[in-house]
Amino acid sequence: MKIISAKKITETIRNLCLKANLDLRNDVLAALKLARLREKNKRARNILDAIVKNAFIAREERLAICQDTGIPCVFVELGQDVKINGDLNKAINKGIVQGYKNGFFRESIVKEPISRKESGYTPTVIHIDIVGGDKLKLTVLPKGFGCENKSQLKMFNPTAKIEEIKEFIIEAVKAAGPDACPPYVVGVGIGGTADLAMLLAKKSLLRRLQTPNSKLQTLEKELLNKINHLNIGPMGLGGNTTALAVNIEIYPTHIAGLPVAVNISCHALRSATKTL
C-alpha cells in the first residue's frame, strides 16, 4: 500500500497544466517540422513556419501556445494499491485552478451550459481507470473547443464494410475543414459502447504521433495518406499537410453494433503526464 497525499496530486496537476500549455509536445513539434519539409504548397509552408515559431515563443516567453487552453481533461490511472489521503477530485480541480492562474490562462469554462453564466477554470472532466499496482499516473490534456466541436460518433451496423468506416472518418475531417486549426491529429475510437468509443478516440490523442497502433498501422497509414490528399492543408488554404497523424484505439463491442468515434485535435495537441 502506497500513500499519496491530495497535496502532492494538486501540485502535480498544477505543474502538468503549465507544462502542457506552454511546452508543445516534442512528438507534435517533430511531426510539424517533418510536415514542413514535405509540404509542397508555399503558403502552407509559411503557416507551418508560423506554427513552429509560435511553439518556440510560447516555450521561451511562457505564454500559452493557444489562448484556448481548453477544458483540461484529466486522465487518471489509479493503482489499486494506492491510498489517497484526501479527496482526489478536489485535489485535481484545485491543481488546475493553481496551474491555470499561475500561467495566466483563460477562464474558458462556464458553470451553466445553458445560461452560460459564471466563467472559471473548473470543474474539469476527469476519467479514472483503476489498474493494478501502486502507482498513480496523471495526464492533463487541454482540449480546445474549436476542434472538440468537430467530434463525431456513428453507430454502424455490425455488417458495415471497412470502406464505410474509412469514409466516415474522412468525412469527419472534411466537415472540420478549415475551422478546427489544421493540420489535425485525428483520434479514432472503434468498438465498446457509444460513450467508450468517444473516450477511446480522445485517449488515442495521448499516444506519441510516431508510434502506430501495432494491430492497425496499415489502416492508420492508409487513412493518413487519404486525408493528406484532401488538399485542406494548414488553415484550410490547401497543401498536403491536412493531418499529422491518425491514431486509432479499439475495444471489443456488441454483436449488434459497431460504434465509431472521431475526436479531432488541432495542431496544438497539448498534453503532459506524470507518474507518482
Partner 1 sequence: MKKIISFLDKKAIAGLRVGDEVFLTGIIYTARDQAHKRLAEVIRKKEKLPFALKGAIIYYCGPAKTPKGRIIGSCGPTTSSRMDEFTLCLLEKGLKGMIGKGDRSGEVAAAIKKYKAVYFLTYAGCGALMASYIRSAEVLAYQDLGPEAIYRLRVEKFPLLVAIDSKGRDIYK
Stretch in the footprint of partner 1 (CB under 8 A) among 6-14, 161-169, 189-197, 263-271:
263-271
List residues bridging with 85 in a β-sheet: 5
Closest among 82, 70, 69 to 137, alpha carbons compared: 82
Place of cell 490534456: 141
106 binds partner 1 (CB under 8 A): yes
263 binds partner 1 (CB under 8 A): no
CB of 176 to partner 1, least distance (A): 9
180 binds partner 1 (CB under 8 A): yes
How many other β-carbons are positioned within 10 Å of the β-carbon of residue 54? 16
29 binds partner 1 (CB under 8 A): no
Site string for partner 1, 221-250 (x = CB under 8 A): --------------xxx-------------
CB of 160 to partner 1, least distance (A): 31
Choose which of 19, 25, 94, 267 interacts with partner 1 (CB under 8 A).
267
Label residue 236 exposed, middle or buried (CB < 10 Å: 0-12, 13-18, 19+): middle
Of residues 26 and 85, the one with the C-beta less far from partner 1 = 26
250: amino acid identity, one letter = I
Site string for partner 1, 58-97 (x = CB under 8 A): x--xxxxxxxxx----------------------------
Rounded to whole angstroms, how far apart are CA atoms 199 and 203? 6
Place of cell 502506497: 2
Stretch in the footprint of partner 1 (CB under 8 A) among 46-54, 133-141, 154-162, 194-202:
46-54
DSSP notation for 116-140: ---EES----EEEEEESSS-EEEEE
Stretch in the footprint of partner 1 (CB under 8 A) among 80-88, 103-111, 161-169, 239-247:
103-111
Rounded to whole angstroms, how far apart are CA atoms 142 and 139? 10
Contact residues for 133 (Cβ-Cβ < 8 A; gap 6+): 79, 80, 81
> Which three cell numbers, joined as nine digits, stand for 61?
516567453
| Binding region for partner 1 (CB under 8 A) | 47, 50-51, 53-55, 57-58, 61-69, 104-108, 116, 119, 144, 146, 149, 177-181, 235-237, 266-268
